[in-house]
Amino acid sequence: MGFRMSKSKVRYEQLDRAMKLNKVVDKTIPFYDGKNNTWCLVDGTDKYSDMYLDRLIQKFAGYKMQYRYTWLGETVTRKVFAEVLEDVITRYEDLNIDGFEVDYNSQQLEWLTVIKNKLITEQKRNAAEIPHYCKKNKEWQCMIKISSKVTPYKECGSIEYVFGEYSGFGEKYNFRHDDISKDEKWPDHEHDFAGVVYALISSPNHFSVNGFEGQYSIQQLELLKLVKEKLLTRRKANYT
């Protein structure tokens, strides 16, 4: 099947080009730096950068998320789910989220179980077939092997995208963020939470997850609410 660029990477590159073309970059709101493949935010004289939009947006909203789990008897806390995915690669045998289910949504809970089971049963696989970060290209990669009769092919992009291809499972978040997506039969969707955050930043006026709350965790819903309120308040202030 050959090499394919992830949709998430394509989306972010398109966003970066669009921002430069329209010259509408508000650097006090998280924006994408395509040259360095990272998200940035300016707060007064401070500039922050992060590979994860959903971590940077927490700083913008003044809200802290947490994804907890226990490992070898110790409680570990991460700020974004992607970091838990990073950890599960090497900690899958002893990583336990019992008692911390409230930090996750139902999709994430099921996905972690699928990933852990796959890693446990395939411990002896080629390292290239396990999701790993490529520092040179600044992206996650994984060789996908369907069967002995099909030539393995490379998937690359965000950690959520690559783990989804690796496990055959993943997240799906429905939402509406424009007039077209108001049609109940055709909501928009993304396969990672960062994609939802990006949609909210792009169109806060029409963004809504009404009817799809069950796909999100309590803290995800609270973060989206705070971000939308701050974006709309700022937009109103700029036009009054």
pLDDT digits (tens, 9 = 90+) for 153-167: 898 988 999 999 999
Q: Is the pLDDT confidence value at 116 over 90? A: yes
Q: DSSP 3-state assignment of 173? A: strand
Query: What pLDDT score does 111 carry?
Result: 96
Of 117, 100, 108, residue with least CA distance to 54: 108
User: How confident is the model over 215-234, as a mean pLDDT?
Assistant: 96
Q: Which range scores top for mean pLDDT: 34-48, 136-150, 218-232?
A: 218-232
Of 174, 226, 179, 167, residue with least CA distance to 205: 179
What is the sign, positive or negative, of the torsion defined by CA atoms of 223, 55, 160, 31? Answer: positive
Structure tokens at 231: 């974006």
> Contact, 83 vs 67, CB < 8 A?
yes
Close Cβ partners of 190 (under 8 Å, ≥ 6 residues apart) = 172, 173, 175, 196, 198, 199
The chain-wide mean pLDDT, for the chain, equals: 85
Higher pLDDT, 139 or 174: 174
Q: Is the pLDDT confidence value at 180 over 70? A: no
Of 32, 1, 25, residue with least CA distance to 138: 32
Q: Is the pLDDT confidence value at 10 over 70? A: no
Query: What pLDDT score does 27 carry?
Result: 87
Query: What pLDDT score does 153 carry?
Result: 84
Higher pLDDT, 126 or 118: 118
> Contact, 134 vs 140, CB < 8 A?
yes
The 10s digit of each residue's pLDDT in 66-105 is 999 999 999 999 999 999 999 999 999 999 999 999 999 9
Query: What pLDDT score does 11 carry?
Result: 57
